[in-house]
Structure 1
Amino acid sequence: MREIVYDNYYWQNDLIRLRAWSADDWNWDYCTNFDSETLRLADCELSLPPTVVASQKFSERIKDFSTANNRTYFAIETLDGTLVGRINILLGDEQHGTFEVATKIDKEYRGKGYGTAAMRIMLKYAFMEKRLNKYCASILEGNLESIAMHEKLGCEQEGVCKQNIYTNGRYHDEILFGLTKEDYLKKINSCRK
């Protein structure tokens, strides 16, 4: 196969590259599903114990940009090809111009900027290619890494739904963040100066 040149590739930046999720990526999904507390923060619930078959079926369902529940899934790789995470975009409400994005980074690769780098690509894609107007995020209280990432991306906290999510024996607040295309463009333009 001919060597791929990524010099002008839209789906990468100086840290990561996005690609289609592959059925062969099931092992990454399976192994990362043993991090129960991170899954609870992300999904707002305790997941059942992981199984190989469930991860294989899930990976088969979302491979090659197949849409699952209106979500399109991408693998997040370092520029040397190491799979570090997964990101998906929910384009379920194009009529109103809103969208959601979810990321999952393997524990050993967190805190290195991979999730933020992948989010930057997704925001650019949604705002500049899909003509969407607003990114919306719902974050469980205590998910400090996600809150910090959203603030770094320029998202604003728009509200708190008090005691809205029940998990781990109590009700938790749900923190709402948002970013409009207008604010996104202001942030991008100020970074270029």
Structure 2
Amino acid sequence: MTTSAWVGDRVRLRAKEPEDWEAFQAFDEDSDAVRSGWRLTPPNSVARAKKAAAEHAEEELDLDKFSLVIATKADNAAVGSINTHQIDRVHGTFAYGISVGTPHHRKGYASEAIVLLLRYMFFERRFQKAEAWVYSYNDASLALHRRMGFVEEGRRRRSHYANGRYHDEFLFGLTVEEYTERYA
């Protein structure tokens, strides 16, 4: 029996495929969810969504900075995405972002995807700390990161504008030692 570092009990992290365009276009229909992850943009055409998905599927692979689809283990259906960014190899830190489509909330997909991603970054790529920025109005993500053992390290006041208001951003961090104590 073979095992994959990218597969958990409920989800698998996989590369984006051209046919994933439809799921992500549907997720973008929920404006509140889109704002919680980054920023609201004008609607995308089907042609542009297909082209972007195809281009993403053909991007050169980077071992440290990448974006993956969060898919259900049962049927490989896309339920969200997770990415790494702000890679700092000198200090061994990185940040990540995660988004799960509204129909798939509260099913444990996000927490499992985060555990899988951090395991790779900590134990395969030798990073020592993960960071996540969460907007003050994203109660679900704030609760998720606290529940997972992330430490609240800072707050940037009024640094994000969405839906006609300024909002704070919280910085959360988790070290490899904290991860190992909880998940390894």
- Per the normalisation by structure 2, the TM-score is 0.90
Instruction: Determine the C-alpha separation between the residues in 2 that align with 1:179 and 1:131.
Output: 14
Q: Which residue of 2 aligns with 1:125?
A: 120
| Residue aligning to 1:56 | 50
Work out the CA distance in 1 between the residues paired with 2:72 and 2:25. 20
State the Cα deviation string for residues 149-188 of structure 1 (Å, max 9, x = none). 1112210111111111122222111111111112112223
**Are the equivalent residues in 2 in contact too, given 1:20–1:65 (CA < 8 A)?**
no
Equivalent of 2:74 in 76, 80, 93:
80
Question: Deviation string for 1:81-104 (max 9, x for gaps)?
Answer: 222222222263222211122222
What SS is found at the alignment partner of 2:137? coil
Whole-angstrom distance in 2 between the partners of 1:158 and 1:52: 40
In 1, distance between residues paired with 2:162 and 2:118? 30
Structure-2 separation of matches of 1:94 and 1:58? 29
CA contact (8 A) 2:156 2:168 kept: yes
2:114 is aligned with 1:100? no
Unaligned runs of at least 5 residues, structure 1: none
Q: Aligned pairs, how many? A: 182
Flag structure 2 segments of 5+ consecutive residues without an equivalent.
none
What is the identity percentage for the equivalent residue pairs of Structure 1 and Structure 2?
32
Q: Distance in 2 between matches of 1:49 and 1:182?
A: 42
Q: Distance in 2 between matches of 1:32 and 1:112?
A: 16
> Which amino acid letter does the alignment assign opposite residue 90 of structure 1?
H
Deviation at 1:128, TM superposition (A): 0.7
C-alpha distance in structure 2 between counterparts of 1:132 and 1:162, whole Å: 28
The question of whether the paired residues in 1 share the 8 Å contact of 2:5 and 2:120 is answered with no
Which residue in 1 is equivalent to 2:23?
A: 28
